[in-house]
Amino acid sequence: MKHFAGKVVEGFRVGSRFGIATANLDVSDESLLEEGVYLVQIEVPNGAKKNGLLHWGKRKTFGSSFSAEVHILDFSEDIYGETLTVYVRKFLRPVQIFANADALFTQIEKDIQTAKKYFLRQEIDAQWKTLKNADYLEQQAVEKISHHDLFLNAQNVLVYAPIKNELDFVQKICSMFPSKKYFFPKVVGDKMQFLESKYDDLIAGAFGVLEPKNEAPKFDTDEPCFVFVPGQAFDKLGNRLGRGGGFYDKFLSELRKENKFVYTTAVIPKFAYFSCIPTEPHDQKVDEVILVE
């Protein structure tokens, strides 16, 4: 992992538009990185590492001078004249020329959202890697679902086959309540549809993810349904951080337009539950988050 140190030379300010810290750094080697915008972690003077963004290269929108500028998330201390160490995590995008300041600021806002989501996913992935009691959490999930009144009264249940970093409770639920109709997701083009299937009849689809067979009956979106929604993180308002494809957001948006009898819930470990997560206007919330710990 590349890293470098630089002294804050133009002072420290909290961006009035974005509410994040910005520091312009004096660096010894401008050829250290390819020109671009990067996701980084910044080691501040007290030794803590903060998440952020790095602009490396010429200021193409406002002149042509070189800039090594870091935007530090969730940070408000005075670091004028201090030396920061920057650890490069991931290339985000090339440096672009924008027509005006508003266009540039809009892109920066998008970059900030992307950075927040990236580092939140990294935090959650680290928790999953050290998780020792997944079986116990899955037993808790089954217990809570099996006493959930809305689930018990539902005839149509939209579920999913779990993938990496998701609790594995669906197969047990399907076995415990065999009289219900279970519908599993299948991606077709840029959309997702749900087809009826028994868990044992699922087949490996794209990337090895289990999905229903093509000839399986399709879910009638007019029918009342109980929906289990996967996600990497959720917050107290029901906001969801998915995997970036947008399939569930599109599906739930259309489903809710056609059907007033939809109840959505997520079942997650407590470490994936936050007071607030980054969201976008098109993101779909869930009605309930069931926590296990």
**Domains of the chain: which residue ranges?**
3-129, 134-292
| DSSP run (H or E) holding 138 | helix 134-145
Asked whether residue 6 carries a pLDDT value surpassing 80, the answer given is: yes
Q: Give me the mean pLDDT over the 79-83 stretch.
A: 85
Report how far Cα 122 is from the mean position of its chain's Cα atoms.
Answer: 9
pTM of the model: 0.87
Q: Give the integer Cα–Cα distance in Å for 64 and 83.
A: 25
pLDDT value, residue 173: 97
Q: Give the integer Cα–Cα distance in Å for 169 and 267.
A: 9
Q: Give the integer Cα–Cα distance in Å for 40 and 110.
A: 16
Neighbours of 99 (CB within 10 A): 8
Closest by CA to 286, choosing from 245, 244, 205, 229, is 229
Asked whether residue 20 carries a pLDDT value surpassing 60, the answer given is: yes
pLDDT value, residue 17: 57
Cross-strand bridge partners of residue 69: 24, 55
pLDDT digits (tens, 9 = 90+) for 147-175: 999 999 999 999 999 999 999 999 999 99
pLDDT value, residue 246: 86
Percent of the chain with pLDDT over 70: 97
pLDDT value, residue 75: 84
Asked whether residue 14 carries a pLDDT value surpassing 60, the answer given is: no
Q: Side-chain half-sphere of 127: how many Cα atoms within 13 Å?
A: 18
pLDDT value, residue 25: 92
Neighbours of 30 (CB within 10 A): 13
Percent of the chain with pLDDT over 90: 69
Confidence of residue 65 (pLDDT cuts 50, 70, 90): confident
Instruction: Supply the mean pLDDT for the chain.
Output: 91
| DSSP run (H or E) holding 224 | none
pLDDT value, residue 13: 55
CATH of 3-129, one of 1.10.287.470, 2.40.110.10, 3.90.420.10, 2.40.30.30: 2.40.30.30
Report how far Cα 161 is from the mean position of its chain's Cα atoms.
Answer: 19
CATH of 134-292, one of 3.40.50.2300, 3.20.20.70, 3.40.50.10420, 3.50.50.60: 3.40.50.10420
14 CB contacts (<8 Å, ≥6 apart)? 20, 21, 22, 76
Closest by CA to 285, choosing from 269, 263, 257, is 263
